C-alpha cells in the first residue's frame, strides 16, 4: 500500500530527529533517564517508520538486511568482549574505565545498537514472511 505524499514527506523529516534522539539517549543514558534499550528502540522505530511509509523494497535498498544482521551480531560480540575485559580487572563487567560513568557509556551504546538492529532485523523477517504469502 502506497502512503500519501504528506506521510512520506513527514516521515523523511521526522526520521533524522528520531535517530538523533536515539543517539542522545544512548550517549547520555548514564547521566539522565534513558539508556541503550530506549535509544535502540527509537532507532529501530525510525527505520520501521521509513519502511512503513516508503515500502519495504525501497528502504531495503538503503538499509540492507545483511547490515542489520551484521550490526546485531557485532554488537552482541562486543557486549561479550566488554564483559570479558571486565574479568581482566576483577569481575565480569567490572568498571575499569576511569571516566565518568565508567563502562556504562560504551555499554549503553552497544546495547542501543544491539536492540535497534535486532528490532529492525525482526521487522525485516516479518516483512519477508508477509511478502511470501
Read off the pLDDT of residues 44-91 as tens digits, 9 standing for 90 and up: 999 899 888 888 778 778 778 888 889 999 999 999 999 999 888 888
pLDDT at 1 over 70: no
CA 27 from centre of chain: 13
Predicted structure pTM score: 0.84
Helices (H), 1-133: 5-27, 36-54, 56-62, 65-88, 104-132
* Residues 69, 26: Cα–Cα separation, whole Å: 20
Contact 34, 111 (CB under 8 A): no
Residue with cell 520501521: 48
Amino acid at each position: 500500500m502506497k502512503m500519501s505524499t504528506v506521510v512520506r514527506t513527514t516521515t523523511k523529516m521526522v526520521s533524522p530527529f528520531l535517530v538523533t534522539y536515539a543517539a542522545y539517549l544512548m550517549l547520555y543514558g548514564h547521566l539522565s533517564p534513558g539508556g541503550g534499550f530506549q535509544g535502540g528502540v527509537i532507532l529501530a522505530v525510525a527505520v520501521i517508520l521509513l519502511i512503513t511509509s516508503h515500502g519495504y523494497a525501497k528502504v531495503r535498498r538503503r538499509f540492507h538486511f545483511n547490515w542489520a544482521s551484521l550490526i546485531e551480531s557485532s554488537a552482541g560480540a562486543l557486549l561479550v568482549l566488554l564483559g570479558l575485559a571486565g574479568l581482566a580487572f576483577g569481575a565480569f563487567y567490572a568498571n575499569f574505565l576511569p571516566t565518568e560513568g565508567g563502562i556504562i557509556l560504551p555499554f549503553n551504546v552497544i546495547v542501543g545498537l544491539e536492540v535497534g538492529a535486532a528490532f529492525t532485523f525482526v521487522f525485516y523477517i516479518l516483512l519477508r514472511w508477509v511478502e511470501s504469502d
